[in-house]
Amino acid sequence: MEKVMLNQIQNQVATVNNYGREEFEAPTNITIKGILRLLMANVDSDNGKRVISLGLGDPTASSCFSAPAVAQQAVVDALCSNKFNGYPPTVGLPQTRIAIAGYLSRDLPHELSPDDVYVTAGCTPAIEMTLSILAQPGSNILLPRPGFPIYGLCANFRNIEARYFDLLPDKSWEVDLDAVEALADHNTVAIVIINPGNPCGNVYSYQHLKKIAEVAQKLNIVIIADEVYGHLAFGTNPFVPMGVFGSIAPVFTLGSLSKRWLVPGWRLGWFVMNDPTGIFKNPKFIERVKKYCDICGDPATFIQAAVPHIIEQTKEAFFTKTLKMLKQTSDICYEMIKEIPCISCPHKPQGSMTMMVKVNLSLLEDITDDIEFCFKLAKEESLILMPGLAVGLKNWLRITFATDPTSLEEGLGRLKSFCQRHSKK
């Protein structure tokens, strides 16, 4: 059983090398959810331990992270008003676009127009939309490694070649900008920047973001800014939206209510054109975006209708509480990892809900890679961690710290005893 599933993942990963890049390891045909399903199936229910999952980034599994009551009330009110049972315009309800444009403009030097905003059923469809509208025969896209596997998967479906640049663990996971320049050619359409970062938990400085924009300008490409963790920054660097540099290079900002409002199941997100110099504002391109919206279908009308209230009425105290919690749980993770000899964390997380840690396999006796590590861990300890390979970094692990401190401490305790048990004597 275990062998079969291990092979299943390893085969999936092995077929990835579509473009002949030797060092290319980021999977373009597996998803985090797919691997988690296999890991969960491998848990041994006879070991008497409850399952602790630090695998998937869904904070709602823990009662410490629950949606603001005002947001819930806004949805109830919108639903019960009986005004929002029909189809919305496929680009989104006007009031929803206005509210999102206003919300994002708070942090920008320029004012977004509601017409710059397209409402999507979460950030994932916004990713799919962006790649679909940019896809052209022969085009390629620059993706971060480690990163978010949906981008590679989506690129594959659209016949866009995915080219991976490294994030540098010793430089707070900053983008290797030399590598970006070396990878790009005249068929490169875009670069993806995820900030605050999943999986690394990094938050980029203003200066670094500006440098990224300057490189994009030089390469004449658009920046896809995945800001699904926007404002979830609890370290020294404040969150700066990429759109701030929209006049250097055009920015497509992707986001959703999912993470900041802790409602990933509500499926409400956005694709926003941060393009003050108007490079993409030609009627043909806008037509293409609108057509794509017609194909895709919208989030539920009553959820859209609730967005203005959700944005206006959610109190600062709600956000502060979430940040405090994430700071606490990420600190617990960072400190407890320090106590495990075969695992190290090069950069203390400053944002998002996940972090990357490195496994030193030379200290372990009977484990050959991160996938075997995670499978044995699931079986022996009922603890689910994400193998680094799933996000493009072999022999690392991704840990989600958005969970209650008690489970986290218990989970990391199990990780420690697992490592001790498998250490070379």
Packing angle between helix 301-313 and helix 94-105, nearest 10 degrees?
Answer: 30
Question: According to CB under 6 A, which one of 57, 88, 308, 387 is a site residue for ligand PLP?
Answer: 57
Rounded distance, CA 218 to CA 272, Å?
A: 22
Residue 109 preceded by cis peptide, ω within 30: no
Asked if 228 and 254 count as a contact pair (C-beta separation under 8 A), the reply is yes
Q: Is 167 in the site for ligand PLP (CB under 6 A)?
A: no
Q: Which of 256, 274, 304, 350 binds ligand PLP (CB under 6 A)?
A: 256
- Long-range residue pairs from 362-365, CB within 8 A, at least 24 positions apart, any chain: 363/423, 363/424, 364/419, 364/422, 364/423, 364/424, 365/422, 365/423, 365/424, 365/425
148 interacts with ligand PLP by CB under 6 A: yes
* Residue 146 or 250 having the CB closest to ligand PLP: 146
Supply φ then ψ for residue 270, to 5 degrees.
-150, 150
Write the single-letter amino acid at 260.
R
- x-or-dash pattern for ligand PLP, window 215-234, by CB under 6 A? -----------x-x------
Among 59, 92, 241, 269, binds ligand PLP (CB under 6 A): 269
Report the residue number, 156 or 247, with the smaller CB distance to ligand PLP: 156
Tokens of 387: 């193998």
Sites for ligand PLP among residues 293-312 (CB under 6 A): none
Q: From the CB of 285, what's the least distance to ligand PLP, in Å?
A: 23
- Select from 171, 147, 153 the least CA-distant residue to 354: 147
Handedness of CA 119, 124, 129, 131 (dihedral sign): positive
Q: Which of 165, 174, 219, 181 is nearest to 21 (CA)?
A: 165
DSSP per-residue letters across 16-27: T-TT--TT----
Closest approach, Cβ 195 to ligand PLP, in A, equals: 9
Q: What are phi and psi of 71, to 5 degrees?
A: -70, -40
Dist CA 191 CA 213 (whole Å): 10
Cβ proximity to ligand PLP: between 146 and 276 the closer is 146
Supply the minimum distance, in Å, between the C-beta of residue 122 and ligand PLP: 3
Q: At its nearest, how many Å lie between ligand PLP and the CB of residue 369?
A: 24
Q: Provide the minimum distance between the beta carbon of 361 and ligand PLP in the complex, in angstroms, as a whole number.
A: 27
Beta carbon nearer to ligand PLP, 124 or 139:
124
Instruction: Give the nearest distance from C-beta 265 to ligand PLP in angstroms.
Output: 9
Residue (33 or 421) nearer to ligand PLP, CB: 33
Q: Does 250 bind ligand PLP (CB under 6 A)?
A: no
| Closest residue by beta carbon to ligand PLP | 122
Sequence-distant (≥ 6) Cβ neighbours of residue 49 within 8 angstroms: 381, 382, 414
Query: How many other CB atoms sit within 10 Å of the CB of residue 186?
Result: 9
Choose which of 27, 243, 264, 299 interacts with ligand PLP (CB under 6 A): 264
- Which pair of tokens denotes residue 311? 């944005």
Q: Which is nearer to ligand PLP, 252 or 418 (CB)?
A: 252
CB of 181 to ligand PLP, least distance (A): 24
**In the range 83-142, which residues lie near ligand PLP by CB under 6 A?**
122-124
User: Shortest approach of ligand PLP to residue 266 CB, angstroms?
Assistant: 9
Interface pick for ligand PLP out of 172, 202, 258, 304 (rule CB under 6 A): 258
Chain residues in the site for ligand PLP (CB under 6 A)? 57, 122-124, 148, 194, 198, 226, 228, 256, 258, 264, 269
